[in-house]
Structure 1
Amino acid sequence: MSEIHHECGIAAIYHLPGDLHPLVPGLVHEDAARLLPRMLQDIQNRGQLAAGMTSYLPGRPQLLTTHKELGMVSEAFRLSQRDEAEAIMSKNLGIAAIGHVRYATCGADDRNYAQPFERNHIEKRKWFSFGFNGQLANVQELKDKLLADTSHHLTRDNDTEVIMHEIGREMSGERRPTLIELMTNLSRKFDGAYSLVLLNAQGDMLVARDPLGIKPLCYAKEGNLFAAASESVPLLNLGFQPENIKSLPPGYAITIIDGQFDIQRYADTVGRAHCYFEWIYFANVASTLDERSVYLSRTALGEELARLELLDGSVPIDENTIVVPVPDTSKAAADAMAHRLRVPSREGLIRNRYSGRTFIEGGNSRRKKAETKYTPLREVLQGKRVFLVEDSIVRSTTMRVLLNRIRSLGGAKEIHVRVACPPIVAPCFYGIDMSTIDELFAPKFLQGREITPEIEAEMAASLGADSLRYLPVESISKAVRYDASSLCQACITGRYPTPSGQKLYQIARENVGKGNGTDSRTYEVQHTLTFAQ
């Protein structure tokens, strides 16, 4: 849905020493960075607020160059203006590059918060640029430690700057940690989710995934071309063979030092906590993450919706019944549900892809944007009993708008909402923009209770639907084909995989009804409380 967004996505590419790679005919070493914007476009779904890249080219006075701007990848790199795009890429040639697409869960919406973050230094090993996907749940604790020294100052209100300073501190003075040692030391300080790419002015690259594997990270290497990204699709579209595209294991890092590629474990792993929402909503439906297909996972959820529908039998299924997905992430589940119910799956809602980014708008603006984002097809909906399939309901703003438009403009006879996910009952502190309980739809009805048909009926009436059904929590692990103990399901269970995450949840519960709502995120409320004490 347009109501929630991932913090960001990362990418990296390196043309290692050796012969030209057959995947990209004619590719010369310094042109490797030209492939980065294409990779970022393939993970545009993970962030649409800003995009950027840093490249490395030996022999150039500016060994590292960084280009970043607000907007989509095509806007940031002027891809629709050939001369401007070529001018940007000519300034940013490199044998290696890292890139980032951003949506903010913290920090302001301006260019200074766009990644990668570059830190200049006269020593090449200390001159680095990095980007990361995720969020540190203990960012306030880290800030407090940094600022305890009154000579220190932070200029930005986000965890990216904190990470930059922590990396710098690890290399301060005469300390010379290897990149693996660097990640080991950082992992002892960090609580949260982080997939990270780093490039320094010596041409060394680091690609690392947090010890719980909360955020996804894929990589591939064929011949002398290496690439990594938050998802598998950019690697597939570059031409890597599917069998060579792999997920980096949690607690592992890839290093390229003096042109030598290596994979090592940097932290002991005590279980896994893959974000289940990657398969449900965030990831490209064509991606494969941790050996689990996003498409097949969503298909399994749709089949489960159909099974429960047939088991219940309270809604008639006849020639006037259709299934309609909320575009686009619900389509696989809707198609599977319709197939099992033996009714048509129809595109009764058409998404306007040029209506703008509704998630950066506040309350009323978000509703107005939602009204223009989806157009109901009266020819499909009129007089029909509609099963409206959605991947999740978070704040309910978009769902209310859709139901009203489907009924008033589309002429649907009945609308039965089916959600391919359990109720969202708790915030996320690992990189999804939903940080307070007050902003969530379901907790107001559940009030700590298990969901029942009676509560679902209350929810349906509030939304303006004829009925509503969620999937149970156990359906998620079955669909993804991971044991529940290997998934982070905190937003549907209230059980967090890290100590700081659980601590923030307690703060969020204490602040229910105190007017924080969507105006202040839990970690921002915590920040205020910390300085008020």
Structure 2
Amino acid sequence: MCGIVGVVSNAPVNQLIYDALLLLQHRGQDAAGIVTQQERKFFMHKAKGMVRDVFRTRNMRALPGNVGLGQVRYPTAGNAYSEEEAQPFYVNAPFGIVLVHNGNLTNAHSLRAELFSTDHRHTNTDSDSEVLLNVLAHELEKATHGVPLKPEDVFRAVAAVHQRVKGSYAVIALIAGHGLLAFRDPFGIRPLSIGRSKDGTVMVGSESVALEGTAHVFERNVESGEAVFITLDGTIHSHQCAQDPKLFPCIFEYVYLARPDSEMDTISIYQARLNLGETLAKRVVSTVPPSDIDVIIPIPESSRPSATQLAHLLGIPYREGFVKNRYVGRTFIMPGQGVRKKSVRQKLNVIASEFKGRNVMLVDDSIVRGTTSREIVQMARDAGARKVYLASAAPPVRYPNVYGIDMPTKDELVAHGRTVEEIREIIGCDALIYQDVEGMKRAVMSAAKATPGHRPLDGFDASCFDGVYVTGDITDGDIARLNENRVGGEEGDEDTSRLALPNAQEA
């Protein structure tokens, strides 16, 4: 899962892209990159690390031009330790193209073979984003036949990409001397939005917060299957390039990944999380009598809206019982149990007075491996809690995600193949309450606004909860192959991926 941004302006864009990437930093801490264009020449700087560390003054001065794009990377496939796999990626023909990508191609393996044997193109890394770039370049070359590039040529190429590529992809590409291209997969799994500033600058980005935080007015989302081509003078051309587009955004964006101040596909992230707390309240009441709960405490940070609403509806005091160190990462994808346990203790400290002698209900956004949850429950007990209940605003995570979230393999998921009671015993809490899948979907859907001209949602990709992969082409063999390409780590390595971030609110 990554954050991407592209800008077309009549003024230098390097600082603007930098600022937008800071607003998207919660979507990836592994690497960052920016490309700008001046007089058909690309200027690029990319490296491992966070935005503030990758770009120094000398790097920014070396990025001239009024059009460009950038990315913050959270790797789900390929080599997390190779700077060559930091984005953007570049090919010199046709025209010269640079590309950034958020998502995960589920047929990258077969596409790579096609590129070599049929398209006669070479990829130099294990990144599926480089595969996607070469597929786009090949189809763009076929669509233009050497004539000057027109918007309809670009749209024809994107339509061909949709026919060949499977999986999730939100893409921004810069075509040298012509303009900026943005498009989204036919299911709209990964987000992409577009806006404009008062001076006419056009920005495309993963979340609306990147636009609004840089003085752009959010105009709309790029539709699923749609391509938007922005010429260098800021003129916007758009076209639906998919044969049968549907809108099934990833529901984990609303549960955890996105910043709460963003809006995606007409849904307020903050309102969605409040609604999750409301539906969770009904589940709690059926499991634990509210009179047996003295206090409700969120596990920072993204569970706060749900916990607040839960406490309000049940009439139970809401308290902050954990203080979070913002400079230690989220832990559920730490490479080893020892590292994971140590990190939980490093990043959270309890306020003992909120636990001592009380029956506490802890609220989290989701439970993945369960290791973090077990440690937090024990911390509450060590602080003197009489009973510790745990409520999850999301249902049990039982299946791997193949669309760009680095979920563990199914054997590493605490909920896979286990009952709620078995999970409760592993975590060690006195009661465990999960959101149900349909309740989660209704809660998020009810946060959607009626927006004229916007395609209504057809549903959600909730595959990590219900095992239904919306692209309809995922087999056990595909999952096994994708797991082989998952980004791993060695014991003791620092975890800098997106789901290891302190939190969206803190980014």
Q: Which residue number corresponds to residue 88 of structure 2? A: 116
State which of 366, 374, 395 in structure 2 corresponds to 1:422: 395
Over 3 Å counting, the alpha-carbon distance change for 1:466 and 1:152 in structure 2 is: same
Over 3 Å counting, the alpha-carbon distance change for 1:345 and 1:357 in structure 2 is: closer
**Per-residue deviation, 1:495:** 1.2
Residue 129 (structure 2) pairs with residue 155 (structure 1): no
Q: Which residue number corresponds to residue 137 of structure 1? A: 106
Residue 442 (structure 2) pairs with residue 478 (structure 1): yes
The one-letter code sitting in structure 2 at the alignment partner of 1:163 is L
Q: Deviations over 1:167-198 (max 9, x none)?
A: 23224487357221221111100111100000
CA distance in 2 between counterparts of 1:464 and 1:360 reads: 20
Residue 204 (structure 2) pairs with residue 233 (structure 1): no
Q: Which residue number corresponds to residue 19 of structure 1? A: none
State which of 89, 97, 101 in structure 1 corresponds to 2:68: 97
CA distance in 1 between counterparts of 2:45 and 2:169 reads: 22
CA distance in 2 between counterparts of 1:401 and 1:67 reads: 40
CA distance in 2 between counterparts of 1:164 and 1:234 reads: 24
Residue 21 (structure 2) pairs with residue 40 (structure 1): yes
CA distance in 2 between counterparts of 1:150 and 1:36 reads: 33
State which of 170, 175, 184 in structure 1 corresponds to 2:145: 175
Please show how residues 124-273 of structure 1 align to structure 2 within 5 Å: 125-148=94-117, 153-172=122-141, 175-176=145-146, 178-223=153-198, 224-241=200-217, 244-259=218-233, 260-273=235-248
Over 3 Å counting, the alpha-carbon distance change for 1:332 and 1:41 in structure 2 is: same
The one-letter code sitting in structure 2 at the alignment partner of 1:175 is H
Please show how residues 447-526 of structure 1 align to structure 2 within 5 Å: 455-481=419-445, 485-500=458-473, 502-503=474-475, 505=476, 508=479, 521-522=482-483, 524=485
CA distance in 2 between counterparts of 1:219 and 1:270 reads: 19
**Per-residue deviation, 1:507:** 5.3
Residue identity over aligned pairs, in percent, reads 31
The number of aligned residues is 467
Q: Deviations over 1:106-152 (max 9, x none)?
A: 1112211111112235xxx5211110100011112212323446976
Over 3 Å counting, the alpha-carbon distance change for 1:156 and 1:148 in structure 2 is: same
Q: Which residue number corresponds to residue 277 of structure 1? A: 252
Q: Which residue number corresponds to residue 432 of structure 1? A: 405
State which of 249, 261, 268 in structure 2 corresponds to 1:293: 268
The one-letter code sitting in structure 1 at the alignment partner of 2:51 is V
Residue 371 (structure 2) pairs with residue 397 (structure 1): yes
**Per-residue deviation, 1:270:** 3.8
**Per-residue deviation, 1:360:** 6.8
CA distance in 2 between counterparts of 1:433 and 1:117 reads: 21
8 Å Cα contact 1:212-1:269 kept in structure 2: no
CA distance in 2 between counterparts of 1:156 and 1:470 reads: 40
Q: Which residue number corresponds to residue 448 of structure 1? A: none
Q: Deviations over 1:195-214 (max 9, x none)?
A: 00001221411011111111
**TM-score, with structure 2 as normaliser:** 0.87
Residue 315 (structure 2) pairs with residue 342 (structure 1): yes
**Per-residue deviation, 1:506:** 5.7
CA distance in 2 between counterparts of 1:457 and 1:316 reads: 22
8 Å Cα contact 1:13-1:33 kept in structure 2: no
Over 3 Å counting, the alpha-carbon distance change for 1:49 and 1:360 in structure 2 is: farther
The one-letter code sitting in structure 1 at the alignment partner of 2:434 is Y
Secondary structure of 1:488's aligned partner: coil
**Per-residue deviation, 1:357:** 6.3
**Per-residue deviation, 1:368:** 1.8
Over 3 Å counting, the alpha-carbon distance change for 1:13 and 1:154 in structure 2 is: closer
**TM-score, with structure 1 as normaliser:** 0.83
Secondary structure of 2:223's aligned partner: coil
Gaps of 5+ in 1: 1-6, 17-28, 78-84, 446-454, 512-519, 526-533
CA distance in 1 between counterparts of 2:406 and 2:107 reads: 16
The one-letter code sitting in structure 2 at the alignment partner of 1:146 is L
8 Å Cα contact 1:210-1:251 kept in structure 2: yes
State which of 10, 18, 23 in structure 1 corresponds to 2:4: 10
8 Å Cα contact 2:97-2:137 kept in structure 1: no
8 Å Cα contact 2:135-2:161 kept in structure 1: yes
Q: Deviations over 1:10-47 (max 9, x none)?
A: 1111115xxxxxxxxxxxx1x22211111011111111
**Per-residue deviation, 1:356:** 4.7
Please show how residues 295-314 of structure 1 align to structure 2 within 5 Å: 295-314=270-289
Please show how residues 399-414 of structure 1 align to structure 2 within 5 Å: 399-408=373-382, 410-414=383-387
The one-letter code sitting in structure 2 at the alignment partner of 1:9 is G
**Per-residue deviation, 1:442:** 0.5
Over 3 Å counting, the alpha-carbon distance change for 1:108 and 1:353 in structure 2 is: same
